[in-house]
């Protein structure tokens, strides 16, 4: 029974294009000769498109993307300080707009210290956890504004919006994931200070916890969580947290597991109402773009998450194993393409 998956591909800016090229090659390699075919549509979106046309993400773009089964994204964003981008906010207008419009309420970010990978910690222990970051609300909603802007009397407010609907669905996802892993869930927030936002998270985690007696539940303030990420990251299994804390924790987690060149992520709509989107955690790194210096591993691991999400578990496992085997034997600098080649060679071995 053959299956066609319609995949929207958004290479984006900077190194996004280089790493997505390798991710696509890996995807082709792992599905070659199988019953599933990926029908890929490239979308030119990002800072370069904005500079060329003035558009960030049009309604037509969004409609076209929506008509796909899934999305593979590289990275978006121009050179910091580029005057021509002064009024553009590619992150909000493109990346966050996709996450919000496509209701990607689970931002799934696995953190694993692969054998052979080395991070900044002297004695990291076994790191293997997943951050389930809420993706559609919290401090990321963009609600707020300023009065008396630009004057000495300016007041600028930024509001975090947290709904029972939004918190509960992501918390449920996290508990289900914990059930399938090591049955440990840590809520990270700052309930002692952010009393309003914190209370709803705490209440809902407590409530859903009562339906999961097998899962041991822990709570950490975000500041303490960053300490444990560098002193005892092995303690974590599943972390569930809000959009902003998840952003911070996953960059730090990426660093301690060998750098964000290895960190993959999925922006998932578990209901299947909209296509989910898979992307490396890293940015577009314009400073090294076009030089074949970028590590495509995070993009390739994002392909594994994509395959898993589509139910192609064997293919996902093959990509994952190929990457792990490659990481275990890396030494010396390689170009982006060379890393792609090496992983494809493992896949075909």
Tell me whether residue 287 is annotated as binding: yes
- Which stretches of the chain bind its own copies, using CB under 8 A? 80, 89, 91-92, 96, 119-123, 139-140, 142, 144-146, 148, 150-165, 168, 190, 192-200, 203, 219, 222-224, 226-227, 230-231, 244, 247-248, 250-252, 254-256, 259-260
Nearest Cα residue to 214 out of 188, 164, 177 = 177
Q: Using DSSP, state whether 102 is helix, strand or coil.
A: coil
**Smaller CB distance to its own copies: residue 92 or 313?**
92
Instruction: Look up 219 and say whether it is catalytic.
Output: no
User: What does the block give as tokens for 332?
Assistant: 């010396």
Of the candidates 140, 173, 237, 242, the residue annotated as catalytic is: 140
Nearest CB to its own copies, comparing residues 132 and 312: 132
Q: Is 223 in the site for ligand IPM (CB under 6 A)?
A: yes
Is residue 223 flagged as an active site residue?
Answer: yes
Quick one: residue 12, left, alpha or beta (phi over 0 = left, psi -120 to 50 = alpha)? left
Assess 95 for contact with ligand IPM (CB under 6 A): yes
CB of 250 to ligand IPM, least distance (A): 6
From 144, 146, 191, 141, select the one nearest 161 (Cα to Cα): 141
Nearest approach, Cβ of residue 148 and its own copies (Å): 8
Q: What are phi and psi of 259, to 5 degrees?
A: 105, 150
**From 103, 247, 308, 326, active-site residue:** 247
Q: Annotated catalytic, 247?
A: yes
Report residue 256 CA to chain centroid gap.
16
* Between 20 and 342, CB nearer to ligand IPM: 20
Is residue 10 helix, strand or coil? strand
Of 40 and 228, nearer to its own copies (C-beta) is: 228
> Annotated binding residue at 289?
yes
Nearest to 328 by CA among 91, 45, 112, 10: 112
Q: H helices of 32-71, where?
A: 47-53, 59-66
- Whether 251 has a binding-site annotation, put simply, is yes
* Member of 24, 48, 137, 247 binding ligand IPM (CB under 6 A): 247
Would the annotation count 294 as a binding residue? yes
Active site annotation includes 105: no
Which residue, 192 or 210, is less far from ligand IPM as judged by CB?
192
For 121, counting Cβ atoms within 10 Å of its Cβ (0-12 exposed, 13-18 middle, 19+ buried), the class is: middle
Residues in the chain: 349
- Residue 96 in contact with ligand IPM, rule: CB under 6 A: yes
Q: Candidates 91-99, 122-130, 203-211, 329-337: pick the segment binding ligand IPM (CB under 6 A).
A: 91-99
* 224 is an annotated ligand-binding site residue: no
Report residue 199 as tokens: 């209370």
Binding mask 161-200 for ligand IPM (x = CB under 6 A): -------------------------------xx-------
- The region of 17-25, 89-97, 141-149, 307-315 touching ligand IPM under the rule CB under 6 A is 89-97
295 binds ligand IPM (CB under 6 A): no
CA distance 122 to 111: 17
Asked about 190 being catalytic, the answer comes back as: yes
Q: Which listed option, ligand IPM, its own copies, none, makes contact with residue 227 (CB within 5 to 8 Å by class)?
A: its own copies
Using only C-alpha atoms, the chain has a radius of gyration, in whole angstroms, of 20
Provide the token pair at 162. Answer: 């947290």
Helix axes 243-256 and 222-231, enclosed angle (nearest 10): 10
**HSE of 144, CA atoms in CB hemisphere, 13 A:** 14
Q: Are 145 and 205 in contact (CB under 8 A)?
A: no
Whole-Å CA distances, 92 to 13, 98, 140? 15, 9, 9
Does residue 91 touch ligand IPM according to CB under 6 A? yes
Binding residue ranges for NAD(+):
283-295
* Enzyme catalytic residues: 140, 190, 223, 247, 251
């Amino acid at each position: 029974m053959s299956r066609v998956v319609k995949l929207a591909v958004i290479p984006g800016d900077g190194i996004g294009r280089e790493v997505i090229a390798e991710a696509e090659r890996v995807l082709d390699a792992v599905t070659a000769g199988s019953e599933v075919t990926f029908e890929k549509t490239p979308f030119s979106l990002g800072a370069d498109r904005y500079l060329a046309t003035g558009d960030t993400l049009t309604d037509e773009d969004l409609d076209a993307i929506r008509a796909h089964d899934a999305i593979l994204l590289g990275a978006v964003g121009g050179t910091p300080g580029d005057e021509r981008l002064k009024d553009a906010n590619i992150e909000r207008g493109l990346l966050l707009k996709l996450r919000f419009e496509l209701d990607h309420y689970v931002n799934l970010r696995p953190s694993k210290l692969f054998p052979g990978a080395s991070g900044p910690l002297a004695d990291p222990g076994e790191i293997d956890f997943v951050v389930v970051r809420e993706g559609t609300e919290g401090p990321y909603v963009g609600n707020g504004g300023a009065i008396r802007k630009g004057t000495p009397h300016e007041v600028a407010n930024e509001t975090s919006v947290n709904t029972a609907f939004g918190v509960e669905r992501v918390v449920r996802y996290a508990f289900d994931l914990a059930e399938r892993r090591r049955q440990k869930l840590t809520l990270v927030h700052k309930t002692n200070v952010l009393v309003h936002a914190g209370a709803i998270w705490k209440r809902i985690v407590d409530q859903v916890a009562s339906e999961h007696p097998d899962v041991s539940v822990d709570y950490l303030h975000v500041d303490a969580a960053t300490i444990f990420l560098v002193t005892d990251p092995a303690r974590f299994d599943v972390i569930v947290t809000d959009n902003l804390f998840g952003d911070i924790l996953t960059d730090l987690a990426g660093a301690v597991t060998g750098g964000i060149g290895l960190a993959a992520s999925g922006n998932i709509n578990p209901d299947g109402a909209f296509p989910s989107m898979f992307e490396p955690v890293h940015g577009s790194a314009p400073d090294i773009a076009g030089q074949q210096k970028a590590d495509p591993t995070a993009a390739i691991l994002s392909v594994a998450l994509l395959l898993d999400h589509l139910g192609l578990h064997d293919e996902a496992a093959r990509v994952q194993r190929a990457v792990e085997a490659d990481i275990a034997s890396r030494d010396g600098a390689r170009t982006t393409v060379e890393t792609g080649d090496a992983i494809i060679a493992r896949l075909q071995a």
